[in-house]
Amino acid sequence: MSQIPIIFEDEYLVIANKPSGIASISERNGSRENSFVGMLESQIGQLFVVHRIDKQTSGILCFAKTEDVHKALSLIFENREVEKEYFAVVKGNVLEPHGIINEPLAENPARPGTMKVYAKGKEAISEYWVNENFKHAAWLRVKIYTGRMHQIRVHLKSIGHPLLVDEIYAGTKNFHISSVMKNFKQNLEEETRPTIARTTLHAAKLGFIHPITKQSISVEAPLPKDFEVLLKLLRKNNR
């Protein structure tokens, strides 16, 4: 891919904007070079992974440049001294304009590699605000206070509003705006291109105190083009 967009960089760490469709780190039997960290390393040198986001999720990722900074940053994340906010587009109208989801999570033994709400699981807390409701969907801002795997995806499903596109937790691989358009007549010989064909989740904001300089770091990743197109079309067909 072309140059990776850098949001913040100094001699200690780098924060970059990951596109959807690229794994944060090397997948099983995959090469590091094809992962986001590998691509970024080819651009700026050796890096140490502090946290990750799902392959089909876009947005902010932070990496350390040295082992010492990696240890310090990892401690900040483990101690929850970090602010993480996401944008999500979910199924259905969310009637409560604001809510807190406090549901423990655990791996689902029936489906390894996925998570479920489980009373004896690990603490997981998410908070959401409704940015906009559409006819068949809603755009949310979500803040997480814990960093469990698939936390937002499972939490939103638990309140009846899974992500609009989420193959694992919503059973949807993509979304066609034609599915919510009035009087839409599709030529049976033509397959419309999906409006969006990845998880409708974007890591939008990250904030923490720099472990070395003690500077307050607060960065944002703009909405990717596919997200902007989705929102534009949902608004257009909101009648």
Domain ranges of the chain: 6-236
Q: Round to the nearest angstrom and report the end-to-end CA distance of the chain.
A: 39
Q: Which amino acid is at 7?
A: I
User: Which of the 8 DSSP states describes residue 19?
Assistant: P
Cβ–Cβ < 8 Å for 219, 206: yes
The tokens describing 234, both together, are 């949902």
Catalytic residue among 10, 54, 166, 226: 54
User: Which of the 8 DSSP states describes residue 68?
Assistant: H
Q: What is the pLDDT along the chain (239 residues), one digit of tens a residue?
A: 578 999 999 999 999 999 999 999 987 666 788 899 999 999 999 999 999 999 999 999 999 999 999 999 999 999 999 999 999 999 999 999 999 999 999 999 999 999 999 999 999 999 999 999 999 999 999 999 999 999 999 999 999 999 999 999 999 999 999 887 765 555 544 457 899 999 999 999 999 999 999 999 999 999 999 999 999 999 998 86
54 as an active site residue: the answer is: yes
Q: Could you tell me which residues are beta bridge partners of residue 49?
A: 63
pTM of the model: 0.93
Comparing CA positions, the residue from 200, 191, 197 lying closest to residue 58 is 200
Query: Is the domain covering 6-236 a CATH 3.30.2350.10 domain?
Result: yes
